[in-house]
Structure 1
């Protein structure tokens, strides 16, 4: 008589992915499975490492600092929240710029055509109250 041994979690996950449906507590969970290049992804930039990074323009002038990364509930495109001007957190101006407008050049975050003045002219971003 064979004993019943539960299959490993990895096996269950593979079976769920190949069937196209994941189940959570018995309820089907639709997913959009995509092939992900894990090696390429692992060389990317983690949000925890981006936070606090200096932001430069094309001429390598420091124009601000990345304060946060945000996505809205209705729009999956991330935005970088930049802190511009001020000193030691006093008098800073926060602005939101679409992530896809930024460039990473030689491991340096850049907003190529921006200046401190052009960023300060943008509407101020304010965090929603908790």
Structure 2
């Protein structure tokens, strides 16, 4: 059975929580489960909720939306894959930006990517998935 997009999104949110916990030093030298403050976790942003919000630049101009999240394997960075473009019917392309470069100023409003003019976005390299990292899990 092929897993649905919502199951992958749920796994992504769980991975994000685990990533943030390990970055905060909550894990010591031993490996095991950690009791989290669920009230603190609930204050965060859901990956699914972020994907439905538009991304704008600091002038309020629409630039795209979050299409995916990528977690690096080596230095614990998180990237947002943005679908951008489609400015004049050119179609959209994907770019990757560090998640920390996005500003979540309002819990329901657009996400801000400062300095994201159309010209600047078109100069960024197009993001292509590594075919070796795309594995479809079957049960």
Q: Which deviations, in whole Å up to 9, do the C-alpha atoms of 1:7-32 show, x marking residues without a partner?
A: xxxxxxxxxxxxx78xxxxxxx6249
Higher strand share: 1
Which residues in structure 2 correspond to 1:28-39 (within 5 Å)?
Answer: 30-31=31-32, 36-39=36-39
Higher helix share: 2
Shift of 1:128: 1.7
Q: Which deviations, in whole Å up to 9, do the C-alpha atoms of 1:21-69 show, x marking residues without a partner?
A: 8xxxxxxx62495x75432320211112222431011121111111111
User: Quick one: higher RCO (CA 8 Å, sep 6+), 1 or 2?
Assistant: 2
1:44 paired with 2:44, answer: yes
TM value normalised by structure 2: 0.62
CA distance in structure 1 between the aligned counterparts of 2:32 and 2:121, rounded to whole angstroms: 38
| Alignment correspondent of 1:86 | 86
CA distance in structure 2 between the aligned counterparts of 1:97 and 1:32, rounded to whole angstroms: 31
> 5+ residue gaps in structure 2?
1-27, 135-139
**CA-atom RMSD in angstroms:** 2.7
Q: Which runs of 4+ in 1 moved over 4 A?
A: none
Contact 1:64 1:85 in 2 (8 A): yes
> 5+ residue gaps in structure 1?
1-19, 22-28
Alignment coverage as a number of residue pairs: 102
Contact 1:67 1:81 in 2 (8 A): yes
1:119 paired with 2:127, answer: no
Larger Rg: 1
